[in-house]
Structure 1
Amino acid sequence: MKAVEQLRSPLRVFEKLESEVRSYCRSFPTVFTHARDYKLWDAEGREYIDFFAGAGALNYGHNNPKIKEKLIEYLMNDGVTHSLDMATAAKENFLKRFYHVILKPRGLHYKVMFPGPTGTNSVESALKLARKVTGRDTVISFTNAFHGMTLGSLAVTGNKFKRKGAGIPLNNSISMPFDNYLGDEADTVNYIERFLEDNGSGVSLPAAIILETVQAEGGINAASFQWLQRIEEICRRWNILLIVDDVQMGCGRTGPFFSFEPAGIQPDIVCLSKSIGGYGLPMALTLIKPEFDVWEPGEHNGTFRGNNLGFVAAAQALSYWENESFSEEIKAKGERVRVFLEKLVRQHPEMEGEVRGRGLIQGIAVGKDGLAEKICAAAFERGLIMETSGANSEVVKLLPPLTIDEAGLNKGLQILEDSIKWCKKGH
């Protein structure tokens, strides 16, 4: 506690001038000055390993040198930075690269929409389009879902605290149980289908079902591939649009570029943001099957949907996906993390821990109230940045850059183990 108090003095400016809504600076009470790859340094010169990665916006690390070089070159040549949705060379290059590197090799057919450059705006556009296509207003979402902080996205978000912040009723959505929400024995797909087929259920036929394949903020709840396939079958049977929110799980977080690839499903609409910008730059995409691209010109827009620096960085970031090697590296690192976390759970049964997640989005759900937060605070004191997730902050969440090397991954995992041991002693 003394160490934390000593760090508070550099935060006086933020405490005095910035809104009380600030969040992460309370968990990480220091002033950061620079960053590279998987490391950050603060004003005191202290080094931190980053197992947070900008909440998933920095899959390729801080100041990735290959991407930075392209950005500097573009700026030095007076490339267009802001263009609304006008045609620019930077956008053209990104669209070509995205088609040839991502969509075509996977046999995916999507039109690319540039909404406002945030994940919640991508979700808002997806919800609006699904309602426009079907003429229906209800959307089915899931328990513990998180889709953003604007009103439409909050309406399909499960977290009580975040929903309360809206200040008004959040309508036109129905929450259904996610995979395993009711335990291993309950079939939540049958549960959903029963509501749809029964005219007395009180649930109208929805415009869309929106889901995350792994609920990151909701507690790292990973849906089984079979469950995802069956949800897609429901959508096809009832002419419901399937929206996959891949804002945090996309761009390789679970191993493949899209988190839904291993399940073999093809959503009607896909939401991307966070690491699609490559460098932590604001950018978002809404991918739409061509038959559902029924927008009128300007029907959904935004001043900063033409962030050309984002296009430049995103196009360069796609170089990681020109073959399968990067994806295989992520899977190998993910397996290394899983083995380590399972060892920790076995060695520390007092945590009442459960390992969750896929790829490089994993964590330990802790059974004791408040322990996950204590572990993350102890990790920060030891030079590791990580956060909790879950409705009650009960999950210790690991979200390192995908590019982290073996030495960095091992050091971060060791700090996590040391932090658990420290908390075990009753500090």
Structure 2
Amino acid sequence: MIAPLTYRFRALRTRNFRLFAAGQIVSVAGTWMMVVAQDWLVLGLTGDSAVALGTVTALQFTPMLFTLYGGRLADSHDKRTLLTAANCVSAALALLLALAVFADAVALWHIHLFALGLGIVNAVEVPARLAFISELVPPSVVPNASALSAAYFNVARVLGPALAGLLLTAFGTGWVMLVNALSYLATVTGLRLMRPAELLRPPREAGRARVVDGLRHTLGRPDLAVPMALVAVVGLFGLNFQLTLPLLAKTVLHTGASSFGLLTTVFAAGSLLGAFAASGRSSRPSALLVTGAAIAFGLLEAAVGWAPSPTTAVVLLFLTGFATICFAQAANHRVQLGSDPRYRGRVLALYTLVMQGSTPLGALCVGWLGDRWGARAAFVVGGLVSLAAGLVALAVDREGRRPATRAAPRTPAAEDARP
């Protein structure tokens, strides 16, 4: 029992990764506290408007459409420096919004500006962070480091909303936002304490790194293009929980701020279990695993929309969280471990673009759907579309393998075996 457990945490043997993980778990917990506080503030300012919540979400994720340029920066410049600068800017933005709340002067347009600014920073930070993992540990440990990154992300996702619910009830949104601003300092400290000589930097591409080269590399590889397309559809219609969870909590389950935090925590707990399930992976996942995870996710998300009681909804949300991270990790590992290291920043930027850049349109669509038909419809439609996308990807993968089977030469034994 000890050996498998040690194997699942093997990336933590590397000092630089330990510093990175420690800083991230504090910062991400603050981020999720901010998500809960921001959503609750928007609903309070707008009379529980799903469209208003969808607009804020869209503004935060619209800059991710330019994340390909962030990937180019990650392939051209020192990732540790980029991440340090991005976290400092994020801290400043969160602090400004917290001060506006403390001054009782916050308006919806303040939240719009904050969401847009944070989205611009994330367009640089996310691809740099994803690509930076492969510089922290040896190549054989990258899947484990990536899975543990998802694990600490979901640990923070469990802790953050739970703490946010308590702080919102006791002190209000301003203090939650201030804690988030301070949490970025943990990531900055971890980055600056790293030993640069121990980073495993890939060789630089000859000449100027171009976005189009990363696109060409991805589109020329069906084993990368198909999971990318699947991630785009699921991200557009299925992965809108930042919008659908508060709507479910407030308009269907009729909970308060603390119960909303608990509901988010249940979903994150399922995600955490999924991350630990993926931590034992040591090789590139198959296409069947990616599509199978997407199909399971679609079925579970649709089931949440049909849940007859709050207890059933909570159980299904836990399972949906598990399926969400299983799909995201399988797709991420298939793309990351299959790409050329010279283009990894740009390939992962494209992955981020299709995963999160589709969120603005998806948030607006789901917000409209939630206003018109309710939160349950948002879950059902998102789940059914994700299910259909998984089935289509499964058919495409099977079709892609079929020509090789047809072209296989017949041996005399095979001829004799024919009826």
| TM-score normalised by the chain length of structure 2 | 0.27
Query: Where is the strand percentage greater, Structure 1 or Structure 2?
Result: 1
Which has the higher relative contact order, 1 or 2, with Cα contacts under 8 A spaced 6 or more apart? 2
Query: Where is the helix percentage greater, Structure 1 or Structure 2?
Result: 2
